[in-house]
Chains A and B, each alone.
Chain A
Amino acid sequence: MTTLTQTRPRASRAGSARLDPFRATPFTKAMLALAIFLSIFPIYWMIIIATRSNEDAHSVPPPFLPGGNLGENIQAVFDAENAHFMTGIINSIIIASTVTVGIVVISTLAGFAFASLNFRGRNLLLLSVVLTMMVPLQQMGIVPLYQMMVTLGWTNTLKAVILPFLVNGFGVFLMTQYTRQAVPRELVEAARVDGANTIRIWWNVAVPAVRPGMAVLAIQTFMLIWNEFLWPLIILTPDNPTVQVALRALNDRYSTNYVLIFAGTTISIIPLLLVFVLFGRQIIGGLMEGAVKE
Chain B
Amino acid sequence: MSLDVDAGHRTRMLPSNQRRHARPPGPRRLLSWLDLRAAPYFFVSPYFVLFAIFGIFPLIFTLWVSLHDWQLAGDKTFIGMENYTELLADDKFWNSVVNTVGIFMIATVPQLLLALLLANALNKKLRGRLVLRLSVLAPLITSVVAVAVVFTQLYGRDYGLVNWLLSLFGVDAIHWQNEKWTSWVAIATMVDWRWTGYNAIIYLAAMQTIPKDLYEAAAIDGASPRRQFWGITVPLLKPTIIFTVIVSTIGGFTLFAEPVMFGAGLMTGGTTGQFQTVAMFIVKEGFRDFQYGYAAAAAWILFLLILISALINFALVRGLGRSR
Contacts and interface: CB of A to CB of B under 8 A. Distances in A.
A294 B130 contact: no
Given A118-B13, A139-B254, A258-B153, A252 B146 contact: no
A130 to B, nearest CB: 6
Contact of B219 (A8, A21, A45): A21
B44 A145 contact: no
Nearest to B250: A136
Nearest to A198: B39
A266 B268 CA distance: 27
Interface in B129-177: 130, 132-147, 149-151, 153-154, 159, 161, 164
Contact of B299 (A134, A140, A272, A293): A140
A36 B220 contact: no
A42 B47 contact: no
A265 B190 CA distance: 15
Interface in B1-20: 1-3, 5-6, 9-10, 12-13
Contacts of B58: 137, 140-145, 148
A43 B138 contact: yes
A251 B262 CA distance: 10
A134 B48 contact: no
Contacts of B243: 291, 294
Interface in A258-294: 258, 261-262, 265, 268-269, 272-273, 275-276, 280-281, 283-284, 287-289, 291-294
Nearest to B66: A143
A251 B265 contact: yes
B240 A140 contact: no
A103 B314 CA distance: 30
Interface in B56-90: 57-59, 61-62, 65, 70, 72-73
A139 B299 contact: yes
A255 interface: yes
Contacts of B103: none
A284 B286 contact: no
Interface string B203-242: 1111011011101101110000100100000000001100
A291 B44 contact: no
Given A109-B44, A126-B3, A292-B205, A229 B256 contact: yes
A153 B280 CA distance: 25
Interface string A137-163: 101111111111010000000000001
B46 A272 contact: no
B117 interface: yes
Q: What are the 6 closest A-B residue pairs judged by CB atoms, nearest first? A: A141-B58, A288-B205, A113-B43, A198-B39, A144-B61, A119-B40
